[in-house]
Amino acid sequence: MNQGPHSAAGRPAAAVAMTDYEFCSQYDLYGHMACPGCGEKILLRHILNVLGPETVIVCPAGCAAVTDGVFPHSISPVPFLHVPFDATPAAAAGVRAGLDLSGRKHVTVLAWAGDGATFDIGMGALSAIAERNENILYVCYDNEAYMNTGIQRSSATPYGGWSTTTPKGQLKAEPKKNIGAIMAAHRIPYFASGSPAFLDDLTAKVAQAKRLSGLRFLHLLSPCPPGWKADPRDGITLARLAVESRLFPLYEIIEGTHYRLTHESSGAGFDEYLQLQGRFRYMSAGDRRILQADADRFYAQLTLRHNRNGETTVIGEEP
């Protein structure tokens, strides 16, 4: 486990020149090894700004584990526990139990995992901690493929998306797994989606999750320019277009039944979103229509559930 801003020998890590927590309070994550335009470090920085120093990160193999730094150095300003690919939920539950037994129930256990470790490899253990309603904040930074190991498809890869295991002529034929519905089926206290392009929405949801107890799950879109075959300068633009085009709507689910849209997506930008990414270049016009129709259908379902709950406002608006 990397001990926050210090090396295993107790000296400040070269990646972070730490003198006190005044610097650390901003969680700028200087010296990280992420690719230009990576969404994961933007997300982590803003989440830590809300959670504060009383946080322990549990992270499996993946982009976040690699870009945190080469042992014994770490960019993380809080304890950062590296665990096997499929073990994030189980390890987080163990950390939670240990903290509780030592009287530190106020410390937030942040499970920080990508879509491969969440949607696929760790799904069984994730279901277990959800069913037990463990007091953990689980965050999936979703870059829609196994990016760290060579851009292989995951069950979070969109329909029609290129990857090294769904190449030209064999594009992904299945839709993206609906992780929100899976979490809702477990009746966890809180589920929400988020985007680095909508930081007010994101930080409000993190703050809400921090106030609650039990298993809380945040599903965050994390642009990956190398894997998406996009210009690193377009990372936030892509995150915004994904939301506005309804491919990644912003919503929350309370106790598995109460749905609430937190941003009204305009439905615009679908074509631009695809055109800015080489991973969609091989899609036919028919494939594009299928992807758009599926996004519109899901957004219509969310809107219906939102209206059934009598909601008339979104985060950031006065009721």
pLDDT of residue 30: 73
For residue 247, the domain's CATH number is 3.40.50.970
Please state, in angstroms and rounded to a whole number, the distance separating the CA atoms of residues 115 and 276: 22
Q: Which domain does 151 fall in, by range? A: 2-308
14 vs 195 pLDDT, higher one: 195
Please state, in angstroms and rounded to a whole number, the distance separating the CA atoms of residues 54 and 107: 5
Question: Does residue 60 sit within a domain?
Answer: yes
Question: Does residue 185 sit within a domain?
Answer: yes
Question: Does residue 204 sit within a domain?
Answer: yes
Please state, in angstroms and rounded to a whole number, the distance separating the CA atoms of residues 250 and 200: 12
**DSSP-assigned beta bridge partners for residue 141:** 114, 220
pLDDT tens digits, 96-149: 999 999 999 999 999 999 999 999 999 999 999 999 999 999 999 999 999 999
Query: What angle (nearest 5°) sits at the alpha carbon of residue 306, between those of residues 131 and 267?
Result: 110
pLDDT of residue 22: 42
The SS3 of residue 102 is coil
Question: Does residue 316 sit within a domain?
Answer: no
Question: Does residue 317 sit within a domain?
Answer: no
Check: CB of residue 196 under 8 Å from CB of residue 223: yes
Please state, in angstroms and rounded to a whole number, the distance separating the CA atoms of residues 156 and 257: 23
Instruction: State the total domains in the chain.
Output: 1
Question: Does residue 318 sit within a domain?
Answer: no
pLDDT tops 60 at residue 312: no
Which ranges of 102-220 does DSSP label H, i.e. alpha helix? Answer: 115, 123-132, 179-185, 199-211
Average pLDDT over residues 268-296: 97
pLDDT of residue 251: 98
Question: Does residue 237 sit within a domain?
Answer: yes
Q: DSSP character for 117?
A: I
pLDDT tens digits, 116-126: 999 999 999 99
For 293-299, the CB contacts below 8 A with 24+ separation are 294/159, 294/175, 295/245, 295/246, 295/247, 295/270, 296/246, 296/267, 298/178, 298/246, 298/249, 299/246, 299/249, 299/265, 299/267
pLDDT tens digits, 25-80: 456 677 788 889 999 999 999 999 999 999 999 999 999 888 888 888 888 889 99
Which ranges of the chain does DSSP label H, i.e. alpha helix? Answer: 21-24, 39-51, 63-67, 88-101, 115, 123-132, 179-185, 199-211, 225-228, 235-244, 270-275, 285-308
pLDDT of residue 69: 85
pLDDT tops 80 at residue 7: no
pLDDT of residue 88: 97
pLDDT of residue 231: 97
Instruction: Say what the pTM is.
Output: 0.90
Question: Does residue 319 sit within a domain?
Answer: no
Please state, in angstroms and rounded to a whole number, the distance separating the CA atoms of residues 223 and 119: 17
Q: What is the 3-state secondary structure (H, E, C) of 266-279?
A: CCCCHHHHHHCCHH
